Structure 1
């Protein structure tokens, strides 16, 4: 699998493939901001909106693709627009297709985003994830620090309110 940073046109042009990944994540119970069932057209529309955020410099997207060019994972960074926030970014939508899990791809995507953020002068990253999710193990093992937990923060894909855990990581020293 190779990991590539995708520019806005590539995100827009591959929105259908990215939608396949997003619907797989939601169908497998990942709390990534959507309720099940998530239609393919809605998921592709979300990715096309994301392409515009990439074009505007508010976001960055990395995709993992296999030897057949199938999208098997993704991760993003969102950059705040406030003048006092140029040192930080939010890690968003780290997803790995069910068929590609357990092979270290999530860690590789996470590392790619962290390295790119550091290279761009970002010194602080933050994220939120569903409390008790498999993602927590990845973040903790990668050196992320727990800030705290917010009860009933977001609905799971099935609609049940679930707590979320907030994390941060300092970069570059």
Structure 2
């Protein structure tokens, strides 16, 4: 059953808890979403609070995918670029699908929903994202229409002696 996507849902306690659980579960399953396992809710919470602050300042929009039980199953943040010469593209941050739903095509659905949301944002001509090298994410994003436009070797240190490339991907909306 496909996910139900909502852009800018009301921020309720249920949503906050669902986002926090998703972020922790994805991180602990090895997902490249800003943490290295193991993590707990208290480690992730400050990052979620920062995202909510960006939403309150209208710099970021939240896209949530709900499963058939109404639980948060996928998410991404569409964040406006604050530099005046770069407002024609947005960042896509913290792209996540819950591990229990992976392998069902929901990642592609999430990226398609993010593209639709970006097309509805005035003046947005492209979506840019960064992903951690070494996990095959570049192939996944390329399969969704993104192209690699840059790479910083060894920019992400996940552990001593384990540096990964920071891969920049772009989807032009034109």
- Relative to the length of structure 1, the TM-score reads 0.88
Compare relative contact order (CA 8 Å, sep 6+) and give the higher one, 1 or 2.
1
Query: Which residue of 1 is the match for residue 165 of structure 2?
Result: 163
What residue ranges of structure 2 are gaps of 5+ in the alignment?
none
Query: Which residue of 2 is the match for residue 111 of structure 1?
Result: 112
Deviations 1:37-67 (A, max 9, x none): 2221232332222112111111111111112
- Counterparts in 2 of 1:68 and 1:129: CA distance versus 1, 3 Å: same
Query: Which residue of 1 is the match for residue 137 of structure 2?
Result: 135
- Root-mean-square deviation (CA, aligned residues, Å) is 1.9
Task: Please list, as runs of the form range in 1=range in 2, the aligned pairs for 1:20-31 lying within 5 A after superposition.
Answer: 20-31=21-32
- In the alignment, the residues of structure 1 paired with residue 13 and residue 93 of structure 2 have an alpha-carbon distance, to the nearest angstrom, of 18
Q: Determine helix, strand or coil for the equivalent of 1:102.
A: coil
Query: Which residue of 2 is the match for residue 150 of structure 1?
Result: 152
Query: Which residue of 2 is the match for residue 89 of structure 1?
Result: 90
**Does residue 71 in structure 1 map to residue 97 in structure 2?**
no
Aligned residues: 170
